[in-house]
Structure 1
Amino acid sequence: MAPAEDDISIEEKRVYAGSAGRTDAYVATAAGTVRVSLSADKVGAFDMVSRDPARDVAVLACGDAPDLVAAATPGGLSVAAVADDPDFALVDDDPAVAVGAAGGREGVIVAREDGTVERVAFEECGAAVASTTGLGTVADPRAVDASLVAAADGVYRVTDGTLVDVGLDDARDAAGAGMPLAATGSGLYWLGNGWMTARERAADAVASDGDGHAMAVVDGDLLVHSGGSEWDGETWAVAELPVDETAVALGYGPGVSVAVTDAGTLCVDAGDGWRHQVVGVRDVNGVALAVVE
């Protein structure tokens, strides 16, 4: 079992950010957005940085400028620059249910309550909106990642400024970095010659780092794909979290995997097993990681 955060000394906490760099995990919850500071698998301070209920969260990498955190909220799309004291502000008032980073100047892709999917671009990757472009509509959108949109009526891909239906049904999550993956009510799928079944049984969450590593929650179990070019069922293995809780939100940062549970525990693995910290929030809806230093 990985050591709990309580096993990390105060001295370690003081120097953790300087030893291996700092990555912030932004956790979307019904109570607001929580930021948790990480350095490799050490968990540092955590605090509520926005009290607006968050249905999803994404981080837009901006190169030389600070990264941008975007939260999908009932009040609209809320964004803030990654900083020690991020200042979230609504950039529109159209209720949002899911958001994903499209990359750089492409901005973010946002799914709205009514099923509308839009691309929102920002001026110089700041909080000012440069343009909003409609991409199409889906039934009951659930998640957005890169160019993929998961919805009740299947998986869609943003292609040439429009949504293209790429199949499946009851899609609950999708991962668009590297090999396209989909978590649906009937199983976990990867996109080969059409959608191929990796695991049967209901899948609720999936994430990938674009370099052959991925995680998924299938029938309550956390499955890990540790790399390589094969994606069938045998390439996935059950991972044992250090707590008897179910992961509901998954994410990747440089060299780290993060799983947040239904009980509000954040678990992080930097290659030497899982550490964990109780963050103290329930109703977790998503997690996204931003490099700080």
Structure 2
Amino acid sequence: MAVGTLARGLCPAAENGLPMAPAEDDISIDEKRVYAGSAGRTDAYVATGAGIVRVSLSADKIGAFDMVARDPARDVAVLARGDGTDLVVAAAPDGLSVAAVGDDPEFAFVDDDPAVAVGVASGRKGVIVARENGAIERVAFADDGVAIASTTRFGSVADPRAVDGALVAAADGVFRVGEDGLTDVGLDDARDVAGAGMPLAATGAGLYWLGNGWMTAREAAADAVAADGDGHAMAVVDGDLLVHSDASGEWGEETWAVAELPVDEAAVALGYGPGVSVAVTEAGTLCVDAGDGWRHQVVGVRDVNGVALAVVE
């Protein structure tokens, strides 16, 4: 079923006061160090109302986690910069907060304009930021640091909620960010978008993919969606976590299946890293799947707003 039309074309806990309850399938710290040395490390940054929690992952092995910023965060994105240092960018009530990816990230505010959502811009040319007042901007950073190099405003939307790639989710629909400004590409009550690969949208009426106009994947309230740009995607629809799996490139209803998390909690934030899927629940449990089923770790925070993954080594 097609919905609308496309207008013009179209991511030491104890010392920080966090509980250290282990996952049921947790492994020893020594084993984690050995595994990380061979499989590499990815850090998941979780934006919450209490601050930003970083969780170290090596494939589906969950390592140390700690609170790396104590200012409330509404969203978070990781900007990979090739030869330069990657950045973690957080949208916060007090503005845009930025830190360099590494062992000891130090977040600092680079402006004081309240932000509600942030995502990596197409072509990784900085980040797209949705401000509290509805303004949509692209913010680029200095090549050698976290200072803002330029800010470009594209227009404004009503009640922005999420940003991913060139897509913005807002109360009045989905918008595409282009050099000429914002283009309304349809739908209503958009709650989340995925701009990597096949464009996807989670709305109050359902989950949609972009075919000949917006096509319905599921008819029920959808609250979150994420994709890796390589055919893999997840979505939260009617409280269930759905996973897309279809090697032929189809995106219809039959290509989505309910995934059973290892905890009886609703997922609210979704993200992808190299070879891993991450879902964070409303109760503060991080779940990760590297292809062999879900593992989980309670990270001890609630009011979860978003998650983004950064490759560290």
Pairing 1:85-100 to 2, within 5 Å after superposition: 85-100=104-119
* Alignment correspondent of 2:211: 192
| 1:9–1:208 Cα change, 3 Å | same
Contact 1:60 1:104 in 2 (8 A): no
- Secondary structure at the aligned position of 1:172 is classed as strand
Q: Gaps (5+ residues) in structure 1?
A: none
* Alignment correspondent of 2:296: 276
CA displacement, residues 233-276 of structure 1 (integer Å, 9 cap, x when unaligned): 00000000000000000000000000000000000000000000
- Secondary structure at the aligned position of 1:124 is classed as coil
Q: Let me know the Cα RMSD of the aligned residues.
A: 1.3
* Alignment correspondent of 1:221: 240
Q: Counterpart of 1:50 in structure 2: which amino acid?
A: A
Separation of aligned partners in 2, 1:242 and 1:43: 14
* Alignment correspondent of 1:156: 175
Pairing 1:206-285 to 2, within 5 Å after superposition: 206-228=225-247, 229-285=249-305
CA displacement, residues 128-160 of structure 1 (integer Å, 9 cap, x when unaligned): 111101011000000000110000000001122
Separation of aligned partners in 1, 2:148 and 2:250: 40
Pairing 1:27-176 to 2, within 5 Å after superposition: 27-103=46-122, 106-124=125-143, 126-176=145-195
Separation of aligned partners in 1, 2:288 and 2:79: 21
- Secondary structure at the aligned position of 2:82 is classed as coil
Contact 1:73 1:97 in 2 (8 A): yes
Deviation at 1:103, TM superposition (A): 4.9
- Secondary structure at the aligned position of 1:7 is classed as coil
> Normalization by structure 2: what TM-score?
0.91
Separation of aligned partners in 2, 1:282 and 1:95: 21
| 1:42–1:155 Cα change, 3 Å | same
Deviation at 1:6, TM superposition (A): 4.9
More moved, 9-18 vs 283-292: 9-18
| 1:132–1:7 Cα change, 3 Å | closer
Structure 1 stretches of 4+ with a deviation exceeding 3 A read 3-7
Deviation at 1:24, TM superposition (A): 0.3
Q: Is 1:9 paired with 2:17? A: no
Deviation at 1:189, TM superposition (A): 0.1
| 1:104–1:89 Cα change, 3 Å | farther
CA displacement, residues 190-234 of structure 1 (integer Å, 9 cap, x when unaligned): 010100000000000000000000000000000000243100000
Identity %: 84
Deviation at 1:46, TM superposition (A): 0.3
